[in-house]
Amino acid sequence: MSLMLHCGSHEKSLDAIGQVALPERTKSYSPVGHRQLVDMVRQNVEGAGLSITSEQHGLWGGGERYFGVMGVQKEGLGLEDFQFVIGLRNSYDKSLPAGVCSGKSVFVCDNLAFSGTFNFGRKHGSMIWDFLPAIIHDAINKIVEGWDFDVKRVEAYKNTGICDSQAHDLIVRAYREHNILTKKMVAEVIDQWHSPNHPEFEDRNLWSLENDFTECLKGRADLLVDRCDAMYAMLDEVCGFGSVIDVTDS
C-alpha cells in the first residue's frame, strides 16, 4: 500500500508522528494530537474485530498536517481485487479538521480511492474532546457497515461497459465540470485509458476508468478525498448506481 503524499510531505514513523509538538490550547481551540488520533482509530478498528494489515503515515512541512492510511481486513470478506482502507487526516495549522474516511486500495497498483468522510470538529473547537471518542467509535462502525455498499459499487462499475467516446467525454467532464482533474491530468488519464499501466484495466468499463483516474491522482493526499467524492458522483450516475447508505458526517 502506497500512501499518496503531496509536495512537501514525507513518510514518517509513528514515533516521529508523536514527537511533533502539540500547539498550545486556547479558549476556542483544542488541538487533537496526530498520534492521539492514530491511537484512537487503531483501538476502535481492533475493537470492531478488524485486523490492521498495513499502515503508513506522513507529515507535511514541519508536522503541521498529518495524513495516514491503514489497510484493514475482516474475516470472511475474501476480496480479490482490492482491500479496504481507512484514511486519517489532521492538522495543527487549522487547515484540516481531524477526521477519518473509508476507502479502498487496489492490489495490483496500490491505487487509493476514498469516500465517506467523517470530520471531528472543523475548527478543533474547545469542546472537541467531549465527543471525539464517541464519534470515532461510531465512524468506524459506520465505515464497516458501508463496505457492502462499496463491494456492490465495484461490481456495478465492472458490469458497465463504455466505449472510447464515452470515456473521453467523462474525462473532459472531470476537468471542466467537476474539478477532479487538472488540464495536464486530462492527457494522462486518456493515455491510461488507451494504454493502461496494468493489463487488469484493459477491459472497457467503468472499473478500468476509475483506476485510470486514481492512477493519475496519485501524489495529492490532501485533495484525494474531495476529488474521489466528485469522481464517484459522476461515475455512479453513468451506471445508475445510487447512494443507499449515508457515509458522511460533517
Q: What is the DSSP string of 144-183?
A: HHTHHHHHHHHHHHHT-B--HHHHHHHHHHHHHTS--S-H
The whole-number pLDDT of residue 249 equals: 40
Cβ neighbourhood burial of 86 (10 Å; 0-12, 13-18, 19+):
buried
Task: Give the per-residue pLDDT at 248.
Answer: 40
Q: Give the C-alpha separation, 28 to 96, whole Å.
A: 16
- 136, three cell numbers: 470515532
Whole-angstrom distance, CA of residue 38 vs CA of residue 90: 10
The per-residue pLDDT of the chain, averaged, comes to 87
The pLDDT value given to residue 135: 86
pLDDT tens-digit readout, 175-220 = 999 999 999 999 999 999 999 999 999 999 999 999 999 999 987 7
Q: Note the pLDDT of residue 245.
A: 37
**pLDDT tens digits, one per residue of 68-105:** 999 998 877 778 899 999 999 899 988 888 889 889 99
Count of other CB atoms within 10 angstroms of residue 246: 9
What SS3 state is found at 127? Answer: coil
pTM of the prediction? 0.85
pLDDT exceeds cutoff 70 at 107: yes
134 Cα distance to chain centroid: 22
Q: How far apart are CA 167 and CA 164, in angstroms?
A: 5
Please give the pLDDT value at position 94. 83
Type of residue found at 78: G
Which has the minimum average pLDDT: 29-33, 111-115, 130-134, 136-140?
Answer: 130-134
On the question of pLDDT at 6 being above 70, the answer is no
Residue 147 grid cell: 463496505
| Residues 217-238 as b or e (16 or more Cβ within 10 Å = b) | bbeebbebbebbbbbbebbbeb
CB of 217 within 8 A of CB of 185?
yes
Domain boundaries, the chain: 9-145, 154-239
pLDDT on residue 106: 93
Amino acid found at 165? S
